Amino acid sequence: MFKGSIVALVTPFKNGEIDFTALKKLIDFHLENETDGIVPCGTTGESSTMTHEEHKSVLSFVVEYVNRRRPVICGAGSNNTEEAVDLVRHAKKIGGDGVLVVTPYYNKPTQEGLFQHYEFLAKKVDIPLVLYNVPGRTGVSLAPETVERLSKIDSIVAIKEASGSLDQVSQILSLCSITVLSGEDSLTLPMMALGAQGAISVTANIVPNLSRRMIHAFLQGDIEEARALHFEMFGLAKVLFIETNPIPVKAGLALMGKIEEQYRLPLCPMSKDNKEKLRNVLSGLGVKIFPSPSK
């Protein structure tokens, strides 16, 4: 159901509050560049520092503004299953096209606990559900065998796989036919060679056109074009993770004049040296740089 270049959208802040004006402009940027789908309030969207009311208000705003022009997959994860149910119900109520649900972080459930978490959500709310495996952020990894079990539940339609392991992708796709989406931008093309159908991408925040072109080139069988675009974006995909995501991508968007460079603690601005590295990569890609709006 979900494939192509799907952006893991940042959440812009201004004076400590959600900047809905900038958020609208970011959505317009992605619609103009034909991004295939939008994910608000994922990890990149800093959902972990939002209140529940803010989280729901951003989801509602994005779904209403996009207005079916692209699929919106609502970030709805929590390490508290009942809390996740509330977010998934909200996504269903507002007309979201699906939900992205990260594995519960910190409490490190067993594989059976992970299975029961997702099964519970799927039984409570009838909405397409995308699993999200990012062990580097959560401390727990969905085993391929658990993904296979979950893939038998009708509403569980895809997995965002961000373990950084091509072996993991190979094992998942050898066991079941669930749609795999890359959550590791520098590995999107190799993952697609194994059978992934696209990406939920951080890099797409900065270069949505290049991200879409690479993924669609591969899907259409133009391997040489896809490879060339992979190498063109590779440096950006690496520098955007030189510090904790979403610090670099928000710094990049601020350099582009699209948002103010604001975070919520415990996230903080990029170091001067790393920001200069980011600036150089953006300049090398021909991205137009403006003075930061916050300066």
Supply the pLDDT for residue 295: 41
Active site residue ranges: 132, 160
Supply the pLDDT for residue 163: 96
Alpha carbons within 13 A on the beta-carbon side of 40? 31
Supply the pLDDT for residue 291: 64
Backbone angles phi, psi at 221, to 5 degrees: 90, 5
Supply the pLDDT for residue 125: 96
Supply the pLDDT for residue 258: 97
Backbone angles phi, psi at 22, to 5 degrees: -65, -35
Which residue ranges in the chain fall short of pLDDT 50?
292-295
Whole-prediction pTM value? 0.95
Q: At CA 160, angle to CA 42 and CA 122, rounded to 5?
A: 80
What 3-state class would DSSP assign to 183?
coil
Domain 4-222 coded CATH 3.30.70.2740: no
Label residue 198 left, alpha or beta by phi (over 0 means left) and psi (-120 to 50 means alpha).
left
**Which tokens sit at 83?**
């809390």
Q: Which helix (H) or strand (E) holds 159?
A: strand 156-161
- Render pLDDT for 2-51 as a digit per residue (tens, 0 to 9): 999 999 999 999 999 999 999 999 999 999 999 999 999 999 999 999 99
Compute and round to an integer the Cα radius of gyration of the chain: 18
Residue spans of the domains in the chain: they are 4-222
CB atoms under 10 Å from CB of 166, counted, come to 15
**Which one, of 101, 96, 145, lies nearest residue 122 by Cα?**
101
Positive or negative, the CA dihedral 128, 147, 35, 248 is positive
Supply the pLDDT for residue 290: 85
Label residue 223 left, alpha or beta by phi (over 0 means left) and psi (-120 to 50 means alpha).
alpha
